[in-house]
Structure formats: structure tokens, C-alpha cells
Amino acid sequence: MDFSQLVNARLARQEAESLYQTLKPLLALDPKFADLILTDLAKIVRICGRSNGEITANELLAYLAIYALIKQDTEKLNAAFKTWDFSDADRIKYQKVALQILLDVTKGQQATAAQLDEFMLPAVLNQLDAEKGTRYLTPA
């Protein structure tokens, strides 16, 4: 990896860690939010990939990192945070793993392309806000 790729990989990991910290209160409410979040994030990566004509290594790294943090998957945490920058073989292996996870979490959705671009989390949070009086999507 060259220097700019290392910097971009570091930023991808920092953003994944920051997003995870932001999501922790929501994840604490119900473990089912983990799959909902990971599905919506997978959709975002796929949309970006479709728009750009490719899914970049750093997009796969960011998804792998947030997946590993949410699932507390030690193997994938190690790959995303320790070996990604130093081993081409590991990086390629875990790019494939991340891509397979993306496909797996979105494959069960038999829908049109437009429906695949719809996110579930905002609707669930709006319903939660209405039922419980919370303000997850409304600024304080």
C-alpha cells in the first residue's frame, strides 16, 4: 500500500469507529438493530458502488470494520484494524469476506432496484419516536 492508501484506510477505520460509538445507544436498546443497521449500511455501499462503477477497498474496509465492531467479531476486527495495511494476502482475503457479507445481508430482499435503495432504519426510528416519545431523528 502506498502512503495515501494507508491514510485513507486509517480514515475509514476512524469513521467506522466513530459511527459505532454513535450507534452504541441504539444497539443497546435491542440487538435486532444490529442487523437493521448493517443491512442499511450494506445498501449504502452497494449504491455507492453502483454509482461509481466499483466498490473500493476502503469502502470494503469501512464496512468490514463497522460489521466487526457491531458483531464484536474478533477475527474481522483483527483483519480490519491490524493486518489490513500490512498483508496484501489478508487484505484481498478480507475484501472478499466483506463483499460476501454485503451480498449476504442484502440478498434476502426480493425487490425492485428502487426498493433495494430504501432504508429501513429511518422508518423504524420514526415509529419508535412516535410510540415512545423518543427523539432519535429529531434534533434536540
* Closest alpha carbon to 45 in 61, 24, 31, 32: 61
pTM of the model: 0.85
Domain parsing of the chain, residue ranges: 3-109
Residue 57's pLDDT is what?
A: 92
- Highest mean pLDDT (candidates 46-55, 67-76, 106-115): 67-76
pLDDT tens for each residue of 79-120 = 999 999 888 999 999 999 999 999 999 886 655 556 666 788
